[in-house]
Amino acid sequence: MTETAPVDSTFLDTTAAEPTRARRLVICRLQVNGEGVAVVAPVHWTLLELLRYQLGLIGSKQGCDKGDCGACTVLLDGKPTLSCITLAVAVQGRCVETVEGLGVGGEPHPLQREFAERGAAQCGFCTPGVLMSAAAYLDELSSSAEPVVRQADIAAALGGNLCRCTGYTKIFEAVHAAATQILQRSKALADTSTDDAS
Amino acid sequence: MLRLPPFDVHLPDELGAALALLAKHGRQARPMQGGTDLVPNLKLGQTKLEHAVLLAGIDELHGIELDDGELRLGAATGLNALAQDPQVQAHLPALAFAASRIASPQIRSMGTLGGNLCLDTRCRYINQSELWRQALGGCLKSHGRECHVVPGGQGCVAALSSDTAPVLIAYGACVHIAGWQDSALVRRHIALADLYDSDGVRHLRLADAEIVTAVRVPLPSANVHVGYRKWAVRKSIDFPLISVALRLERSDTGSLLAGLLVVSVLGPRPRVIDLKALAGRTIDADLAKALGQMAFDRCRPLPNVPYDADYRRERLAVEVRRLCTEMLNL
């Protein structure tokens, strides 16, 4: 577990013109991308502020900052969550995955590879959030009894992420391609293990 | 960048402890579940608080159970969980549908039933940033004396935008409420329609230290059909600009025994219209038209939410007609 240094005071009380009392600091203990962390932060901080300003994970973006745009989407215990309107103190003991944890061992995730190859990221600001919503969709797809990749399901899963550049077409294509690839790979793995068993 | 103003956060794991905190801090404290409504409102300076009491750790508020001919839905039930629950889908399909149409996948995985029922009211003025609002000065809901959306308006008409409230009213739901009086837990329950008041500033008939703990919905009999339609500009993210729920009780011969039409996003509380004037009529396309006309005649959308009020009135009639038409073959 990593204990971080006390909170950087430049981020304290940016909104209160004249603070009338000391702000309470808390230690938030949570799993971030598989690693246990304990972070000191003001009790009213959001999860996004904790990730960006205390842990230096600036992949999750501060877009509208009020839960409309989806640029701050992270996975909280596997579910897509808007970190800009989630209090950090409310996620004690839970697992957070951000875009930084998507690839494994320096290799990009199939979603990231498809996004790059198909031009699904233009300005790129919405991309980390879109990738996390797409990752949640892929998890759900993989765990369903009869997985089928449907365009309508992809659009619904990405329904909380705004993109002002792409018009979504290339994003949907990239997610579709990554989903198809992952299903084919898991089918091939299942076939191999059936062969081994026989 | 919108930073939250500083406040303290409490994480009680018992209902009594949560209520005692709410009672101790009075108007300076608010209960919070998913925070998807309250946190943006705090960031916009629309709501102010000193203490947030998080309710997620209270076991009693969770769970969906079938009990004595009623479905008990805990207030902390997640909106996605509600939409995907097999019992809700089997017995209250219109509620599952309404929950699946709320906002975005992220909001549905964070938000709760209790939070959706207790959504703050919204309007074109109040749901802007503090800086934007300063240009016009305060309003009836924000330390001012005039309404900026209905000129000359004497009462706040900010609208309730809950998707689950109208459909649960149509199902005849009752809300269970827990409060704190003289250091003791007090419970009561009321019909869901009675939870709402016509004052947009304080539209929930809840005392300061009272919270909704659960909703109980009687299982509808086989001849009762409930449907829901929501109109919004986009298919995702948006709050409804008009929403309608319809309850039709059908006789053996296919005529209307009784029914309710619930129209929401008009003002701070859903409008409930009893359909007894239409009892005995055959449930068919003509009834769908008559219902649409009735909604048009009885409801007058205000310029309180985005979109033209006259258009919303026409649109309301269309949505009611379409909803009834969808339900003809049930």
Average model confidence (pLDDT) across chain B: 96
DSSP assignment letter at B19: H
Its CATH architecture, for the domain B61-118+159-218, is 2-Layer Sandwich (3.30)
Closest CA to B82 of B162, B164, B160: B164
Of A8-17, A152-161, B147-156, B312-321, least confident by mean pLDDT is: A8-17
SS3 at position B74: strand
User: What ipTM does the predicted assembly reach?
Assistant: 0.95
Do A81 and A67 lie in a common domain?
Answer: yes
Do A57 and A4 lie in a common domain?
Answer: yes
Whether pLDDT at A34 is above 90: yes
Q: Which amino acid is at B215?
A: V
Q: How confident is the model at residue B155 (pLDDT cuts 50, 70, 90)?
A: very high
Query: What mean pLDDT is predicted for residues A130-141?
Result: 97
Do A14 and A43 lie in a common domain?
Answer: yes
Which helix H or strand E contains B174, and what residues bound it?
strand B174-181
- Give the CA-trace dihedral at A51, A57, A118, A68, to 10 degrees: 20
* Beta-carbon separation of A90 and B105 below 8 A: no
CB atoms inside a 10 Å sphere around CB B40 = 23
Write the residue in B8, B110, B236 that is nearest to A81 by C-beta: B110
* Beta-carbon separation of A82 and B36 below 8 A: yes
pLDDT digits (tens, 9 = 90+) for B235-251: 999 999 999 999 999 99
Tokens of A72: 């701050």
Do A89 and A121 lie in a common domain?
Answer: no
pLDDT at residue A3, rounded to an integer:
52
* Beta-carbon separation of A15 and B56 below 8 A: no
Do A110 and A96 lie in a common domain?
Answer: no
Is B157 within 8 Å of B123 (Cβ atoms)? yes
Q: Please report where in the chains the tokens 């949505």 appear, as a residue.
A: B319
Do A158 and A175 lie in a common domain?
Answer: yes
The structural domain count of chain A equals: 2
Q: How confident is the model at residue A115 (pLDDT cuts 50, 70, 90)?
A: very high
Tokens of B258: 């009784």
Q: Which amino acid is at A171?
A: I
- For A85, phi and psi rounded to 5 degrees? -120, 20
Whether pLDDT at A193 is above 90: no
Whether pLDDT at B288 is above 80: yes
Closest-CA residue of chain A to B238: A68
Which helix H or strand E contains A113, and what residues bound it?
helix A110-117
Q: Name the residue range of residue A130's domain.
A: 106-198
Please indicate whether residue A187 or residue A180 has the higher confidence score (pLDDT): A180
Of A121-125, A190-194, B26-30, B254-258, least confident by mean pLDDT is: A190-194
Q: How confident is the model at residue A13 (pLDDT cuts 50, 70, 90)?
A: very low
Domain containing residue A142: CATH number = 1.10.150.120
Domain C-terminal end among A47, A78, A101: A101
Whether pLDDT at A194 is above 80: no
Tokens of A139: 């998890």
Write the residue in A43, A49, A90 that is nearest to B8 by C-beta: A43
* Beta-carbon separation of A81 and B106 below 8 A: yes
Domain C-terminal end among A70, A101, A132: A101
Cα–Cα distance measured from residue A75 to residue A55, given in angstroms and rounded to the nearest whole number: 16
CB atoms inside a 10 Å sphere around CB A195 = 8
Cα–Cα distance measured from residue A84 to residue A76, given in angstroms and rounded to the nearest whole number: 13
Chain A CB contacts of B39 below 8 Å: 46, 66-67, 85-87
Asked if B307 is an interface residue toward chain A (Cβ–Cβ < 8 A), one would say no
Chain B CB contacts of A89 below 8 Å: 9, 11, 54
**Chain centroid to CA B110:** 16
Domain C-terminal end among A81, A101, A121: A101
The CATH number of B224-326, from 3.30.390.50, 3.40.50.300, 3.40.50.1980, 1.20.1070.10, is 3.30.390.50
